[in-house]
Amino acid sequence: MASATPPTNIGVLLFPGFQLLDICGPLDALNTLSKQVPLHLSILASTLDPVSTSHNQGGKTTQGGPAFPDSNFSQSIVPTHTFKDAPKDLEVLIIPGGFGTRDEANIAPIIEFTKSAWAEGNLKYILTVCTGSAILAKTGILDGKRATSNKKAFEWVKSQNPKVEWVAKARWVADGKLWTSSGISAGIDLIYAWIAEVWSEEVADYIADSSEYERNRDAGDDRFAARWNAV
């Protein structure tokens, strides 16, 4: 069922070592949606410097794990705002995952900003992709809520906050204002399900068909829970 007052102001939270598809998959769908409804995007980070998918941790540049010695391959996104000068009217936050989530200092600004934004009471939704749910779990906002995450990293994610009701066999989980997805590509299914919830199934189907994307419509259809022995 479509929302009576759909959100218009969406913020993406970035940190070094984010997973590219976690952001670009949902944003591509929202790009198309913005041709039909008014949307405003803010890309937030600690500074206005480009944020890379690579992350330097302990003197080693990593991107989902130890890199091949001769590899130098990454992409960067330029923020529009810092966390300190973020718009006050944000209604939706999107938090990606990625190897950078394993570095506590790296994600500390994300945790602080998310807790503050949630406490202010203006957010209608928080959407996480992959291990972005581990970041959200660290804020305490997911305490007592159902959530999921990347199944290959599921044990690590669960260890970040045992107060969350972690759902192993789920492509995505919606618990009120909080939407979380499984790993990486699952964020695309989450965003279409969310668009269907907020605007309509017809709108979500139109955008998916325009992208020639075959939607996974079953939130519980997740073969990767078995593939990676997630429990």
Of 32, 14, 127, 12, residue with least CA distance to 76: 14
At 112, the amino acid letter reads E
Tens digits of residue pLDDT in 16-67: 999 999 999 999 999 999 999 999 999 999 999 999 999 875 545 544 555 5
- Per-residue pLDDT band at 70 (split at 50, 70, 90): confident
Work out whether strand 178-181 and strand 172-175 pair parallel, antiparallel, or are unpaired.
antiparallel
Q: Which CATH superfamily is domain 9-55+73-227 in?
A: Class I glutamine amidotransferase (GATase) domain (3.40.50.880)
* Tokens 């299914």 belong to residue: 189
What is the per-residue pLDDT across 112-148, written as a single tens digit (0 to 9) for each?
A: 999 999 999 999 999 999 999 999 999 999 999 999 9
- 138 contacts: CB under 8 Å, gap ≥ 6: 107, 111, 160, 161
The C-alpha atoms of residue 152 and residue 43 are separated, in whole angstroms, by 28
Distance (Å, whole) CA 175 – CA 8:
21
What is the pLDDT of the chain when averaged over all its residues?
94
Q: What angle do CA 183, 29, 186 make, to 5 degrees?
A: 15
pLDDT digits (tens, 9 = 90+) for 149-200: 999 999 999 999 999 999 999 999 999 999 999 999 999 999 999 999 999 9
Domain residue limits, the chain? 9-55+73-227
